Each structure stands twice: as C-alpha cells, then as structure tokens.
C-alpha cells in the first residue's frame, strides 16, 4: 500500500490514504489531529452487478 496509498490492499481488504503527507492544499482548514479517530468502511457488492465492480481494485 505504500507505493499506492490511495488504493486498496487486496490481501487485507483495507483501503487507506497516506496520512503522513507533509503538504496541505492551499484551501486546507486547520484540524485538531489529536481528536481524529480511524474510520473503517466495510462494503459488500453483488458479484453479478457489473456497475458494482467500479469500486473494486483492479
């Protein structure tokens, strides 16, 4: 996942983004990172639904 921080790890099923980035966009709003908590998103798709495969990693 380190090489592709925006992609899902196929082995664990975990999707994440790089939280160690040191640069922020120009429109960033200050956030108290000490109050942030991890978020876990679990989704299930219908294997027959071709439109559902859009969310699946390549």
Q: Is residue 53 situated within a structural domain? A: yes
Question: What's the pTM?
Answer: 0.24
Q: Is residue 55 part of a domain?
A: yes
Q: What is the pLDDT along the chain (58 residues), one digit of tens a residue?
A: 445 545 677 777 777 666 666 665 667 778 888 888 888 888 777 777 766 666 666 6
> Is residue 34 included in any domain, yes or no?
no
Q: Is there a domain that residue 9 lies in?
A: yes
Q: Report the first-to-last Cα separation within the chain, whole angstroms.
A: 14
Burial 15-47 (b: 16+ CB within 10 A, else e): eeeeeeeeeeeeeeeeeeeeeeeeeeeeeeeee
In a domain, 6, yes or no: yes
The torsion angles phi and psi of 18, rounded to 5 degrees, stand at: -70, 115
In a domain, 4, yes or no: yes
* Domain region containing 53: 1-18+43-58
């Amino acid at each position: 996942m380190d090489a592709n921080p925006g992609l899902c790890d196929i082995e664990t099923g975990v999707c994440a983004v790089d939280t160690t980035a040191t640069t922020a966009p120009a429109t960033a709003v200050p956030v108290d990172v000490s109050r942030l908590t991890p978020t876990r998103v679990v989704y299930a798709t219908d294997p027959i639904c071709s439109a559902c495969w859009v969310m699946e990693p390549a």
